[in-house]
Amino acid sequence: MAKTLKTSPYVNLNLNVRGLNQSATLQINERSNQLIKQGTTVYKLGLGQSPFPVPEIVQEALRRNTHQKDYLPVKGLLKLREAIAEFNYRHQGIEGSADDIMIGPGSKELIFILQLVYYGELIIPTPSWVSYSPQARIAGRHVSWVPTSEESEWKLSPEKLDLICRSDPERPRVVILNYPSNPTGATYSRSWLKKLAGVARKYKLILISDEIYSLLDHEGNHVSIAQYYPEGTIISSGLSKWAGAGGWRLGTFTFPENLKWLQNAMATVASETFTSTSAPIQYAAVTAFEDHPEIDEYLFHSRRILKSLGNYFAARLRENYITVPTPKGGFYLFPNFNIYREKLAGRGILTSFELCETILRETGIAMLPGMEFGRQPEELTCRIAYVDFNGEEVLFKAMNEYKDRPLNTDFLRKHCSKMLYAMDKLEEWLLDL
């Protein structure tokens, strides 16, 4: 006779996890792949994954290190941490040493562990990346969402941050500032960063500066807020976006000297959970953080392509009366379909979730609803990850045939045709509303 469970597994779930689903980014990816398997044409603008291959010299470094089999130090391989300290100095003038660096299996895991070990509420602007808030909930932390406005490209305003902190100035808090932004593509000027740094200093905030898209700033001009608030900023980064290595799972945290206690607490949790990050990946990552002309060239052309596509998409969306900030870095757009509200309501579409579901069903275009990023469900925003093209081929063309030619619409039509076709389909769908 089959044994039956006496209690429902649901009842035995930790309260912090109960009712949570798998992360929206990963769900849309699996769903898109399933639809493709069933024969549907899907435009994969849901998951934010770099379309570009891992730079060849980094792949070669991994091939050379397949024999690395030992557990590595909890905080990470010394040589890699040294390379990252030098990388920080080279790119941002930040002085530090290997001691200030911690490596983890993805920056996502490091951000989670920080929220677990630090007993403070989480402050994030809305919209923010999908995982910060569920992580806070799992760790049992309170979340305060800071409102932003479309006019200011959904950016975190120093005044609003100050307003939230003023109500209880002594409360321990973690702020996550992510730029270039997922989901909006926005970035911050030096003067804006200085003001944010001023507020952070005033309230002694712990600032996680999520700079995972920093090298994909379209102009190559990323500035770290750690230059203005060094004592309280932890820089979060990794290989996933600029090196096209999301699946390698390698993330990095750079701590200031006076947050060593936090780094040590995180290392304790790491030592009791993931132990250390995969050894061959860490050895290969040393090459990624070193100064190599091949990597500079790879990044230069990756940025050109992303800038060109981002500008093109933003312009096409605006031609269709959709409001959207032009992305300044990374590979996301955050359009607002508000102008179509009445027509959409006529079709029973009242939320961003319903909007994305209907568009996926009727056109095959996969996107993520703004509500996954902390926006109100009724706001008709969504995130487009403009990454469904053959990154290897497009990069090769940009580096060779188009090295000295602009990556204009003809180039995009020829080499990113699926992306442009997705835009044509969306336009048709809007016209038929």
Question: Which positions lie near ligand PMP, rule CB under 6 A?
Answer: 48, 106-108, 129, 178, 182, 210, 212, 238, 240, 246, 251
Give the Cβ contact number of residue 89 at 10 Å.
Answer: 13
Whether 219 and 185 have beta carbons less than 8 Å apart is answered as: no
Report d(CA 284, CA 287) in Å as an integer.
6
Task: Give the CA diameter of the chain.
Answer: 74
Q: Write out the H or E segment, with its range, that includes residue 208.
A: strand 206-210
Q: In the complex with ligand PMP, which residue's Cβ is closer, 118 or 132?
A: 132
> CB of residue 6 vs ligand PMP: minimum separation in angstroms?
38
> CB of residue 49 vs ligand PMP: minimum separation in angstroms?
8
Q: In the complex with ligand PMP, which residue's Cβ is closer, 247 or 377?
A: 247
Q: In the complex with ligand GLU, which residue's Cβ is closer, 256 or 335?
A: 335
CA-based nearest residue to 150, from 384, 380, 386: 380
Of the candidate spans 22-30, 95-103, 202-210, 321-329, the one that interacts with ligand GLU by CB under 6 A turns out to be: 22-30
Q: DSSP H helical segments within 1-106, as ranges?
A: 24-37, 56-64, 78-92
Of the candidate spans 21-29, 57-65, 87-95, 193-201, the one that interacts with ligand GLU by CB under 6 A turns out to be: 21-29
Does 25 contact ligand GLU by CB under 6 A?
A: yes
- Measured CA to CA in angstroms, residue 86 lies from 79, 98, 213 at distances of 11, 9, 19
Phi-psi group of 143: left, alpha or beta (phi > 0 → left; psi -120 to 50 → alpha; rest → beta): beta
Q: In the complex with ligand PMP, which residue's Cβ is closer, 224 or 240?
A: 240
> CB of residue 48 vs ligand GLU: minimum separation in angstroms?
3
Does 47 contact ligand GLU by CB under 6 A?
A: yes
Q: Which does 127 bind (CB under 5 to 8 A by kind): ligand PMP, ligand GLU, none?
A: none
- Measured CA to CA in angstroms, residue 252 lies from 103, 305, 310, 336 at distances of 5, 26, 27, 33
Report d(CA 233, CA 54) in Å as an integer.
28
Does 48 contact ligand GLU by CB under 6 A?
A: yes
Does 333 contact ligand GLU by CB under 6 A?
A: no
Q: In the complex with ligand GLU, which residue's Cβ is closer, 23 or 320?
A: 23
> CB of residue 277 vs ligand GLU: minimum separation in angstroms?
16
Report d(CA 163, CA 156) in Å as an integer.
12
Q: Which residues contact 5 (CB under 8 A, 6 or more apart)?
A: none
395-417 in b/e form (b: 16+ CB < 10 A) is: bebbbeebeeeebeeebbeebbe
Of the candidate spans 19-27, 114-122, 194-202, 316-324, the one that interacts with ligand GLU by CB under 6 A turns out to be: 19-27
SS3 state of residue 329: strand
Please, which of residues 265-324 interact with ligand GLU by CB under 6 A?
none
Q: In the complex with ligand PMP, which residue's Cβ is closer, 83 or 212?
A: 212
Please, which of residues 120-139 interact with ligand GLU by CB under 6 A?
129, 131
Q: In the complex with ligand GLU, which residue's Cβ is closer, 108 or 375?
A: 108
Whether 280 and 124 have beta carbons less than 8 Å apart is answered as: no
> CB of residue 201 vs ligand GLU: minimum separation in angstroms?
29
44, 108, 375, 415: residue in contact with ligand GLU (rule CB under 6 A) = 108
The single residue listed with the structure tokens 């934010």 is 48
Q: Which does 47 bind (CB under 5 to 8 A by kind): ligand GLU, ligand PMP, none?
A: ligand GLU
Q: In the complex with ligand PMP, which residue's Cβ is closer, 129 or 340?
A: 129
List interacting residues with ligand GLU (CB under 6 A): 23, 25-26, 47-48, 108, 129, 131, 182
